[in-house]
Structure 1
Amino acid sequence: MLSAVARRALTGAIQVVRGCGFLSSPAMVPRSGHQTLAAAPLPAVQGSPGVRQAQVLDHKRMLQVEWDDGSCSLYPFAWLRDNCQCPLCTLQSAQARSLLLTDLDVHTGMDQVQLSDNSKVCITWPDHHRSEFEPEWLRKRCFSPEARQARQEKLFLNEREFWDSGLQIPMADYEEVLHDDKAALAWLMALRRVGIVYLKGASLEQGQVARLSQRIGFLRLTFYGHTWQVQDKPSANNVAYTSGRLSLHTDYPALHHPPGVQFLHCLQQSQQGGESEVVDGFHMAELLRREAPEAFGILSSLWVDFTDTGSDYCDFFVQSKNRIIDVDGEGRVTRINYNNATRDSTLDVPLDQVQPFYSSLKTFVEVMNRPENVFAYRMEPGDLVTFDNWRLLHGRKSYVSNSECLRHLEGAYLDWDEVMSRLRILRKQVYGDS
């Protein structure tokens, strides 16, 4: 359970996203199933409290800092010495640690602590080295559970907005996202929170997904190239390159580190069929955990083999072992790895686990395919959808293929590291925070 401080921090973050428009009242939602994604609003800025006093607690080997608002923070001696900000210990131009761990006395004491006129915490160590810490720098690194939770949420935006068939996809203008920092920030924040954002107005020519990727950093190169063309192809090297129905899946679980984000740009749509389907995989996993905990336990613990072979950007024969549901140390779902087409016939599990695995996977797929959980939409030329490939499972209805109207989407991948890097940079540029 989150503390009051953490809840306030998370609520503030969620309100920023709500201000983007995707949680507006139903009466304001267009019938097409989209909501306009407005520019991210500027948050209220509050100053960090100054230091009232700093006290050495030798018996605990910690420094206690009391703030002007009456709260206190504790900092271990070893951590303070390890993070000395002086030019000898930190390369200022890179904000990278220069102090070697071999030179760090992890059992160091503290000779003296003083407050400077501008409230810096000044420490003298037994070897006469001197460290100075800005109040705001220390405050942001408080070790209390509440502060740690708020800091991690700000860095990684781990809280999600779950949804089902009633999803209203956040929508933004493609060109505005390319040229306006507030619009780009709102796009990335919604992408992280909701998992999918729809961009309108991209030109009807290849290269728009690559152009959008430059707003973030760079594309993820895979065996299918930097970008790839989703079309009905003879002798297809991927089931996506056929006109048949694609069941709900995540892309590329045949890699140990599947791409985190996917872009799909519609250049030409089929005259009949081809509608897209998505489900919130994290939400589905939580439903499974609640309704069938044994199945959740099996899918989050057994390692399943995936494979992909063929030739495209180059020839490839990839193998991976992934759990269908990845969870972190706190039990939070972090990634879904499921593609029925590339699930290998090799199943490296004990014999007595084969039937429980199939039963568990079948239960999960049935949960995902419930009509109340699936959101369907139809892309039109110029539409570009961006979504979280670690979270969403997506599919496509079959379509009629003919030479007069050949369905054509261009796709590309990015990784979450690059996306979150750009989000933090944009947030700093728009909000002015660090």
Structure 2
Amino acid sequence: MTHVTPLANRRHLAIEHDGHQRQFAALWLRERCPDADTLDPRTGQRLIEAAELPLSLAIESAEVTDNRLQLSFSDGHRTAFDLDALFGEVPSDPPRRLWDAAGAPLPQADFSAACEDDSALLEMLEALHRDGFVVVSGVPAQVDGMQPLIDRIGPLRRTNWGGIADVKSVANAYDLTMTQRGLEPHTDNPYRDPIPGYIWLHCLTNAADGGDSTLADGFMAARLLRERDPEAYATLTRVTPGFRYHDADTHLESEGPLIELDSYGTPVRVRYSNRTEQVPALPPEELEAYYAARQAFYRLITGEELTLHLKLNPGQMLIMDNYRLLHGRSAFQLAGGVRHMRQGYVDRDSTASRRRTLRQRFATSQLKGEPA
């Protein structure tokens, strides 16, 4: 049963449909009218200039026929919405599954299958979105062995490191990743704009003593901090430190909170980089609050409650969500053998686009009873 009630001089519309109640602004409905006069049928892009609609726009009439909301607006336009679609409008991504060490998943994928089969590729990308990481096996033991799978998703992000770069101990290292030192949990490159979305870490050999990878779910850390210390959580969403990297040929700077929220107040990105953070000289009271909050967050992301330990084998690759996961490694000794990784970046837009288009294609094929 559906009930429709105009409100606020007919500039709002209250709708009760299948037990759910929502209010819609007349302007919002008008600019999203699903008809060919408002939206281009092929591209779905808006044909009218929404900013030129009269701010006093009202709904002249509203009635429901065969599960369709028939509307007439004060500018003379008429349209019809499918009620299920109107109420079912949700973000195009499924929810993420947050985890701690005890409940950590271990999503896995096969390199050849993901390269050759779209359903296997979609399964890998869905796991990456859901869990924040995936371990891919069977990667060719070549310096650019990951490239064919990257080509299935989007362009390789080139940086001052190049394209796919070595991660191994070298003499006169120009970055701490190129040493045998253990690395604290961190996100990569918060000094870039945009920050690389996904890290691809391919193991060529890992015979050194130590060198285990660590992962922590930054969104779970944010949730626990909000539950256990709301003031600290609020501080890390409000205070905006800077991040900086420079060498002889590069000078990069950016800024952003350690916990970044979207318009709904949900964490969408975490930043943590002890090596590159540059906190501004804020008032002492605010700095004291920030340092205490940062310490509370640090204890979460380094504690065993959230830390997952992995040791990659030759031919395995770890793909990580750099907006969500914090990664690190234990120190290693070369007396036991060589540790040689190759690392590349792929941005979020191409990765998300590939996942969504594959999902839509398979969903459409299932509805039509056709093979995907």
TM-score, structure 1 as length reference = 0.74
- Tell me whether 1:140 sits opposite 2:85 in the alignment: yes
* Structure 2: runs of 5+ lacking an equivalent: 368-372
Residue aligning to 1:408:
340
Match of 1:302 in 2: 239
Q: Secondary structure at the match of 1:169?
A: coil
* Alpha carbons of structure 1 residues 316 and 80: separation in structure 2 relative to 1, 3 Å: same
- Within 5 Å, which residues of 2 pair with 1:39-188? 57=6, 59-61=9-11, 75-109=24-58, 123=71, 125=73, 128-131=76-79, 133=80, 135=82, 138-142=83-87, 147=88, 151-152=90-91, 155-188=92-125
- CA contact 1:165–1:372 (8 Å) conserved in 2: yes
Mapped contact 1:209–1:411 kept (Cα < 8 A): no
> How much does 1:111 deviate?
5.5
Aligned residue type for 2:40: L
The alpha-carbon distance between structure 1 residues 108 and 303, as it changes in their structure 2 partners (threshold 3 A), is: closer
Overall identity of the aligned pairs, in %: 28
- Match of residue 252 from structure 2: 318
State how many pairs are aligned: 365
* Correspondence 1:425 to 2:362: no
- Structure 1: runs of 5+ lacking an equivalent: 1-51
TM-superposed deviation, 1:385: 0.8
The answer as to whether partners of 2:98 and 2:219 remain within 8 angstroms in 1 is no
Q: Is the 8 A contact 1:246 1:395 kept in 2?
A: yes
**1:266-311 CA distances to partner (integer Å, 9 max, x unpaired)?**
1122332211111112222222333333333333322222210125
Match of 1:233 among 170, 195, 211: 170
C-alpha distance in structure 1 between counterparts of 2:361 and 2:203, whole Å? 31
The RMSD of aligned alpha carbons is 3.1
**Cα pair 1:302 1:349 within 8 Å, conserved:** no
Greater shift, 92-101 or 318-327, is seen at 318-327
* Structure 1 Cα separation of the partners of residues 16 and 285 of structure 2: 59
Deviations 1:39-90 (Å, cap 9, x if unpaired)?
A: xxxxxxxxxxxxx8896848434567786x6877765433333233444432
Q: Give the 3 Å change call, closer, same or farther, for CA 220–126 of structure 1 in structure 2.
A: same
CA contact (8 A) 1:54 1:121 kept: no
The answer to whether 1:203 aligns with 2:140 is: yes
The letter for the 2-side match of 1:380 is N
What's 1:390 paired with? Answer: 323
Instruction: Assess, with a 3 A threshold, how the Cα gap between structure 1 residues 63 and 54 changes in structure 2: closer, same or farther.
Output: farther
> What secondary structure, in the 3-state scheme, does the structure 2 residue paired with 1:338 have?
coil
Which one has the bigger strand percentage? 2
Kindly state the Cα deviation for residue 225 of structure 1 after the two structures are TM-superposed. Answer: 2.5
TM-score (norm 2): 0.85
| Cα 1:84/1:234, change in 2 over 3 Å | same
Q: CA deviation at 1:97?
A: 0.4
Q: Quote the offset at 1:168 in angstroms.
A: 3.5
